[in-house]
Amino acid sequence: MRYQFKDLLLAPAWLSWLRLPLAACFVAFVDRPLMAVSVLVAAGLSDVLDGWVARRCGLVTATGSALDPIMDKLFVLTVAVTMVVRGHLSVAAVLLLSTREIGELPLVVWLACSPSARAARAAAPSANAGGKLATVLQFGTVGWAVLRQPRLWLWIAAASIAGVFAALGYWRRALRTRRPSTPGARNG
């Protein structure tokens, strides 16, 4: 599959692009906790909806498959830097929250650079339940930190552990689709 400019105009791409202005809104509203949490919820919904719409409507494209994780990373990076600068989270906490992103970064680069990897991913589009759980826990942790609630470390630990399992799930799926199929062989 090849990248195509026209795919940037499809509904799933617009839902992915939405995370850029939401990132700016988070920066603007971080000191207004309920507004900041609302932005996190909106970003989380856009992340769930872009993939769902793409799969449901047959709009899975190489461009969208590359755009979604890029927008995710830009949103997460903006939130992370904002949280550190404002003193809501330490650098160590952000690194722990970023276990999934750190673990899957080589896969994002591989997808961006490899037409065969993009084709394999587009041929078998699926959501990663572990990834969605990690996202919910990451956003919950940031919301918890913005609201200055106690026992933040529990949220950080849960999000970090979920992130490790999500990254392993992404790697497993990528390696499974990379294996050549032989008659009678099972990918499972």
Q: Using CA atoms, how far apart are residues 30 and 67, in angstroms rounded to an integer?
A: 25
Indicate left, alpha or beta for 151 from its phi (over 0: left) and psi (-120 to 50: alpha): left
Q: In a structure prediction context, what are the per-residue pLDDT tens digits for the chain, which is 188 residues long?
A: 678 888 888 999 999 999 999 999 999 999 999 999 999 999 999 988 998 999 899 998 878 888 888 898 899 899 999 999 999 999 999 999 999 989 988 887 887 787 777 676 666 666 678 888 998 899 999 999 999 999 999 999 999 999 999 999 988 887 887 655 545 544 44
Going by C-alpha positions, the residue among 3, 47, 52, 28 that lies closest to residue 135 is 47
Query: What would be the CATH architecture of the domain defined by 5-178?
Result: Up-down Bundle (1.20)
Residue identified by tokens 């790697």 is 171
Q: What is the CA radius of gyration of the chain?
A: 17
Indicate left, alpha or beta for 128 from its phi (over 0: left) and psi (-120 to 50: alpha): beta
pTM of the shown model = 0.78
Which pLDDT does position 187 carry in this prediction?
Answer: 44
Residue identified by tokens 């979920």 is 162
Residue identified by tokens 């630990």 is 157
Give the CA dihedral 55, 158, 174, 44, nearest 10 degrees. Answer: 30
Which pLDDT does position 110 carry in this prediction?
Answer: 81
Amino acid code (one letter) for 33: P
Residue 120 token pair: 């394999």
Residue 161 burial (10 A CB sphere; 0-12, 13-18, 19+): middle
Domain ranges of the chain: 5-178
Going by C-alpha positions, the residue among 157, 160, 110, 105 that lies closest to residue 130 is 160
Which pLDDT does position 111 carry in this prediction?
Answer: 74
